[in-house]
């Protein structure tokens, strides 16, 4: 009987710990912030790539037009 009571107590403590861990939301803000930072970094990289292409193309066009004119 004593073994059954001990097993029941251990089971209840373990189940309570698992339930608390499942409801615990610590760290959610850190994960969300990390995801937001990664998304912003990807957007920044995309913007830089587009910026570089636009100005390189514009420079090439200007040089071509100047060569044609003069």
Q: How many CA atoms lie within 13 A of 2 on its CB side?
A: 0
The answer, yes or no, to whether residue 59 has pLDDT greater than 90, is no
pLDDT at residue 64, as a whole number: 87
pLDDT tens digits for range 3-58: 888 888 888 888 877 777 777 677 678 888 999 999 999 999 999 999 998 888 88
pLDDT at residue 23, as a whole number: 74
Between the alpha carbon of residue 41 and those of residues 37, 45, 60, 63, 67, the distances in Å are: 6, 6, 28, 33, 39
């Amino acid at each position: 009987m004593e073994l059954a009571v001990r097993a029941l107590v251990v089971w209840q403590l373990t189940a309570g710990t698992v339930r608390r861990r499942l409801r615990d939301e610590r760290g959610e803000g850190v994960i969300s912030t990390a995801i937001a930072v990664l998304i912003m970094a990807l957007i920044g990289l995309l913007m830089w790539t587009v910026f570089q292409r636009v100005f390189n193309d514009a420079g090439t066009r200007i040089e071509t037009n100047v060569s044609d004119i003069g």
